[in-house]
Amino acid sequence: MLATVALAPLPRPSIALAGPASTSVSPFHGDVQDYAVPGDLAVAGVSRESYATATGPDTLVASGTNYDWAKLVLVFGDWPVTDENVRFMVEWMREENGPDNWWNRNNPLNNGYGSGGGSGLGSYGTLVDAARYAASNLQKRTFYADIVAALEAGTSADATARAVWASPWAESHYGYGAWWSTAPVPVVPAPPSAWGR
């Protein structure tokens, strides 16, 4: 006794979607499914996340140029790392030590604070220490408030330079700009030992 069982497909049901009463899906017709969308249907908004990156001290030390040291001071001071702030910093470094030996005594700005030499003639163990002390010196002295304000704005290297000239950072005041060059500063790496590597 052999029996064969045949199953017939069930009929395809109509599918109703949640939403406005006029929205519905018609039954399948062959391989095509029809769907009617009302004309006043609003498009759902799409959320797009945004991300920002910031260069950290380790990346700057690994690269090791005068521009990286300028950025490191800005990072330690919590000032914006803008093109204008970086331009100002490398110009200032050039006025203090020259571009080819900007890491002289690991003290690119001839900062006296924490360097043991007073009046900017001391040295630091590493350029990282020098960057921390330079940012700290600018922040803790009230007579550097205009420099800090210009760095916080980050919009004008020239305005920040004028704030330095008017401050007691250098006894000469850089000739109130007469001895300050705004020519492009070349990118110059410091020896790894200056960075403590």
What's residue 59's pLDDT? 92
Contact 25, 17 (CB under 8 A): yes
Backbone angles phi, psi at 189, to 5 degrees: -80, 150
Q: Is there a domain that residue 10 lies in?
A: no
Contact 141, 134 (CB under 8 A): no
Q: Is there a domain that residue 173 lies in?
A: yes
Q: Is there a domain that residue 196 lies in?
A: no
DSSP for 38-69? -TTPPPPP-----------HHHHHHH-BHHHH
Task: For residues 156 and 113, give the distance between their C-alpha atoms in angstroms, rounded to a whole number.
Answer: 26
What's residue 172's pLDDT? 94
Task: For residues 173 and 179, give the distance between their C-alpha atoms in angstroms, rounded to a whole number.
Answer: 9
Q: Is there a domain that residue 3 lies in?
A: no
Q: Is there a domain that residue 11 lies in?
A: no
Q: Is there a domain that residue 84 lies in?
A: yes
Q: Is there a domain that residue 124 lies in?
A: yes
Domain of 99, in residue numbers: 57-181
Residue 22 CB coordination number (10 Å):
8
Q: What is the pLDDT along the chain (197 residues), one digit of tens a residue?
A: 555 555 666 666 555 555 554 545 555 556 667 667 677 767 676 666 766 566 788 999 999 999 999 999 999 999 999 999 999 999 999 999 999 999 999 999 999 999 887 777 899 999 999 999 999 999 999 999 999 999 999 999 999 999 999 999 999 999 999 999 999 999 999 999 999 99
Task: For residues 159 and 31, give the distance between their C-alpha atoms in angstroms, rounded to a whole number.
Answer: 71
Going by C-alpha positions, the residue among 80, 96, 101, 54 that lies closest to residue 157 is 80
Q: Is there a domain that residue 12 lies in?
A: no
What's residue 9's pLDDT? 64
Number of independent structural domains in the chain: 1
